[in-house]
């Protein structure tokens, strides 16, 4: 995380001292680096420059308006999964022609809104959905471009909750049905233009081989279908690029490009990509304060003011996030501890058995690293906890990009029944 570095034993984001942010904005607070976000986006753009792909940032990773706007201004399109994400995309005036929409369960209302907005592609996940989009496009007198999300049935080594491309998963359409769609159904459905194949094989994938396998399968499928009369001009290879949380050695953008580009050579396909974690993951940290140090007979707990409702990944996937104090003191002795939140669940932890300085105390600030993706976006109000604030750093300056919720926010839509 090159934009989060220790300078004179204090943790900085770009040129901003993170302890200062924590004291000013309060904790828990997510802090993002503008530079890191843009760097990661540009790494992909640069690696694939010879074919100029459309890079649709996957909003689900972090849909904060300022972050999406920053990336859109840098040239990104957006990968959305709901009417809510379309609403956000419109708020920042993202170009509809750079929006792709995946989800196994798009409602009629969501489809209508997206067709009206003129989005580039629906990534279609079932035959029923395809009929639905065709009917809605017809009622609006439009022809809508669609991609068929193919389930390429490749095995991916990642947490089983985030693999998507096995037959057993709910995502995508099998190859046999895809053939039927392009070669039979396409003629009947006059209000959809089926010109793209979409795949997304999973998330936090650290090696290129499953990507290569899936892209090869997709290109072979496109060739076969086009030979039989289909007109597929686009290939969307989804997201999934892994990042470093601990000691992983995931492929770089350029290694990824070097593996993928030869497969696409002379195919004349327009490439679309949907990276989320790769762009946002290492661009953010979660700052949290120690509320209590609790020594029991068997272990030490640092009880912090962030919890599973702020960062669900450790509880949900047993994911590893590095945790470091924002201030390092000299010659500190280390002690093993669990770092836990205040939520009433034993599964509420951000880390287990971590070696941390023994002299950490109440009110000290810790940084939970690599929390830029699937951090805030998966947060909740469980235990009636206010969701965290978010801050964006730009060089020496920083700005609040989301206020911490208030108690009023917690009950905003609630109606007290007179019973
Ligand atoms: N495209 C599609 C269709 C997706 O379903 C996803 C992620 C992406 C793109 C972006 O994937 P990425 O580049 O970020 O790997 N909450 C989990 C990750 C779930 C990913 C869901 N789909 C986590 O915290 O690890």
Query: Would you say domain 103-273 falls under CATH 3.40.50.360?
Result: no
Binding site membership of 314 for ligand 1 (Cβ less than 6 Å): no
- Name the closest-CA residue to atom 5, ligand 1: 200
Would the CATH topology of 4-31+281-410 be identical to that of 103-273? no
What are the Cα distances from residue 116, in Å, to 65, 112, 124, 148, 192?
22, 6, 17, 20, 14
Question: In this structure, what token pair is assigned to residue 382?
Answer: 């469980």
The dihedrals phi and psi of 192, each to the nearest 5 degrees, come to -125, 145
* Site to substitute for ligand 1 among 274, 283, 378, most atoms within 8 A of C-beta: 274
The residue ranges of every structural domain in the chain are 4-31+281-410, 103-273
* Bond into 28 cis (ω within 30): yes
**Predicted pLDDT of residue 206:** 96
What are the Cα distances from residue 26, in Å, to 23, 287, 303, 350?
5, 9, 16, 19
Q: Which residues contact 81 (CB under 8 A, 6 or more apart)?
A: 59, 60, 101, 102, 103
**Predicted pLDDT of residue 323:** 98
Binding site membership of 102 for ligand 1 (Cβ less than 6 Å): yes
**Predicted pLDDT of residue 155:** 77
Q: How far is the CA of 274 from the centre of ligand 1 (A)?
A: 9
Binding site membership of 80 for ligand 1 (Cβ less than 6 Å): no
* Site to substitute for ligand 1 among 276, 279, 373, 380, most atoms within 8 A of C-beta: 276
Dist CA 378 CA 62 (whole Å): 9
- Nearest ligand 1 atom, CA 278: 13
**Predicted pLDDT of residue 161:** 66
pTM of the entire structure?
0.97
**Predicted pLDDT of residue 168:** 73
Architecture of the CATH domain 4-31+281-410: Beta Barrel (2.40)
Binding site membership of 281 for ligand 1 (Cβ less than 6 Å): no
In the chain (419 residues long), the average pLDDT of successive 10-residue segments reads 93 98 98 98 98 98 98 98 98 98 97 98 97 98 98 78 70 93 96 98 96 97 97 98 97 98 97 98 98 97 98 98 93 93 96 96 98 98 98 98 98 96
Listed in sequence order, the DSSP H helices in 281-399 are: 313-317
123 three-class SS: strand
Helix axis angle, 127-139 to 108-117, nearest 10°:
50
**Predicted pLDDT of residue 165:** 64
Contact 392, 32 (CB under 8 A): yes
**Predicted pLDDT of residue 353:** 97
**Predicted pLDDT of residue 169:** 79
Answer yes or no: 56 catalytic: no
Chain centre to alpha carbon of residue 36: 15
Q: Report the length, in residues, of the chain.
A: 419
**Predicted pLDDT of residue 332:** 81
Q: How far is the CA of 372 from the centre of ligand 1 (A)?
A: 13
Binding site membership of 162 for ligand 1 (Cβ less than 6 Å): yes
Question: In this structure, what token pair is assigned to residue 195?
Answer: 């010109």
Question: In this structure, what token pair is assigned to residue 190?
Answer: 């006059």
Q: Which residues contact 224 (CB under 8 A, 6 or more apart)?
A: none
Binding site membership of 238 for ligand 1 (Cβ less than 6 Å): yes
């Amino acid at each position: 995380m090159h934009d989060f570095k220790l300078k004179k034993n204090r943790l900085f984001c770009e040129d901003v001292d993170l302890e200062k942010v924590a004291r000013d904005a309060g904790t828990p607070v997510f802090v993002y680096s503008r530079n890191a976000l843009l760097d990661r986006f540009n790494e992909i753009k640069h690696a694939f420059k010879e074919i100029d792909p459309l890079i649709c940032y996957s909003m689900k990773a972090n849909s904060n308006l300022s972050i999406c706007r920053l990336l859109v201004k840098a040239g990104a399109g957006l990968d959305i999964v709901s009417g809510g994400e379309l609403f956000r995309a419109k708020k920042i005036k993202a170009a509809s022609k750079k929006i792709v929409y995946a989800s196994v369960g798009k409602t009629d209302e969501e489809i209508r809104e997206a067709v009206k907005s003129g989005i580039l592609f629906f990534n279609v996940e079932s035959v029923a959905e395809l009929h639905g989009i065709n009917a809605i496009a017809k009622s609006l007198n439009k022809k809508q471009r669609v991609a068929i999300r193919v389930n390429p049935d490749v095995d991916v080594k990642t947490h089983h909750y985030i693999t998507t491309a096995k037959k057993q998963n709910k995502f995508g359409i099998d190859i046999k049905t895809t053939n039927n769609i392009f070669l039979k159904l396409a003629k009947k459905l006059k209000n959809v233009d089926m010109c793209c194949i979409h795949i997304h094989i999973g998330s936090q994938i650290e090696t290129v081989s499953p990507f290569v396998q899936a892209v090869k399968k997709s290109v072979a499928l496109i060739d076969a279908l086009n030979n039989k009369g289909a007109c597929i001009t686009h290939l969307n290879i989804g997201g999934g690029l892994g990042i470093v949380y601990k000691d992983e050695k995931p492929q770089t953008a350029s290694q990824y490009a070097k593996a993928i580009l030869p497969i696409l050579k002379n195919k004349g396909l327009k490439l679309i990509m949907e990276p989320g974690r790769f762009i946002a993951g290492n661009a953010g940290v979660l700052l949290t304060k120690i509320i209590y140090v609790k020594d029991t007979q068997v272990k030490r707990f640092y009880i912090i003011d962030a919890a599973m409702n702020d960062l669900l990944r450790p509880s949900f996937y047993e994911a590893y996030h590095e945790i470091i104090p924002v201030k390092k003191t000299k010659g500190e002795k280390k002690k093993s501890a669990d770092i836990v939140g205040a939520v009433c669940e034993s599964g509420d932890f951000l880390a287990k058995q971590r070696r941390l300085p023994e002299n950490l105390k109440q009110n000290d600030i810790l940084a939970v690293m690599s929390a830029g993706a699937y951090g805030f976006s998966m947060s909740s109000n469980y235990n009636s906890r206010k969701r965290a604030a978010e801050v964006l750093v730009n060089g020496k300056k920083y700005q609040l990009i989301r206020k911490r919720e208030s108690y009023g926010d917690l009950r905003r839509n609630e109606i007290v029944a007179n019973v």
